Amino acid sequence: MNLLLGLLSNMLLAAIPAAGFGMSFNVPRRVLLWCAAGGALGRGLRFLLLRTGMPIPWATLLAAAAVSSLGVYAAQRLRAHPKVFTVAAMIPMIPGVPIYTALIALIEIQRRGLTNELLSTALSSALLSVFIVAALAIGLALPGLLFYRRRPVV
């Protein structure tokens, strides 16, 4: 029951900013529901994959690829560009806490001086953030590269 409650709250709380960023990106009203669904799907899938023990960059890559695939399907159905659906849906998966932790550690290094703990925190949080953002970018581009190629993959 606790897993289901966590999953549902994660999905609901991800759908709201996805729709909000869709509105700020001037997405048409008929598409906002798809943006919210993509944000909820991505965050929910990443939540479930993290619960299985998968590292967060890999879970983010698979969730981003699933959201991008949903965007390709919705784009064909609604006759719009896939990025209309997917970019706003990726926003809830941006690694805000690791970026914040890395920046705070850098500020503390400047304020108090270099220590092993602060350097380790800054580097590990920054690298985790870079890997998650790279996974989002690759996952966003992956279905487009596979489905819209003019030449065969092999």
Check if the beta carbon of residue 147 is closer than 8 Å to that of residue 124. no
Per the structure block, which two tokens stand in for 15?
């759908």
Q: Which residues contact 56 (CB under 8 A, 6 or more apart)?
A: 46, 50, 95, 128, 132
pLDDT of 143 reads: 83
Q: Which residue, 74, 83, 87, is CA-closest to 30?
A: 74
Q: What angle do CA 49, 50, 54 make, to 5 degrees?
A: 80
Q: Model confidence over 71-126: pLDDT tens digits?
A: 888 888 888 888 888 899 999 999 999 999 999 999 999 999 999 999 999 999 99
Please state, in angstroms and rounded to a whole number, the distance separating the CA atoms of residues 84 and 27: 7
The SS3 assignment for 126 reads helix
Question: Whole-prediction pTM value?
Answer: 0.88
Per the structure block, which two tokens stand in for 35?
């943006």
User: Binning pLDDT at 50, 70 and 90, where does residue 153 land?
Assistant: low
Please state, in angstroms and rounded to a whole number, the distance separating the CA atoms of residues 134 and 93: 12
Question: What would the mean pLDDT of 38-44 be, rounded to a whole number?
Answer: 95
Question: What would the mean pLDDT of 35-60 be, rounded to a whole number?
Answer: 95
Question: What would the mean pLDDT of 2-21 be, rounded to a whole number?
Answer: 93
Q: Model confidence over 120-138: pLDDT tens digits?
A: 999 999 999 999 999 999 9
Please state, in angstroms and rounded to a whole number, the distance separating the CA atoms of residues 90 and 137: 9
Instruction: Tell me how far apart the terminal alpha carbons of the chain are, to the nearest angstrom.
Output: 45
User: Binning pLDDT at 50, 70 and 90, where does residue 149 land?
Assistant: low
Per the structure block, which two tokens stand in for 18?
């996805």
pLDDT of 107 reads: 96
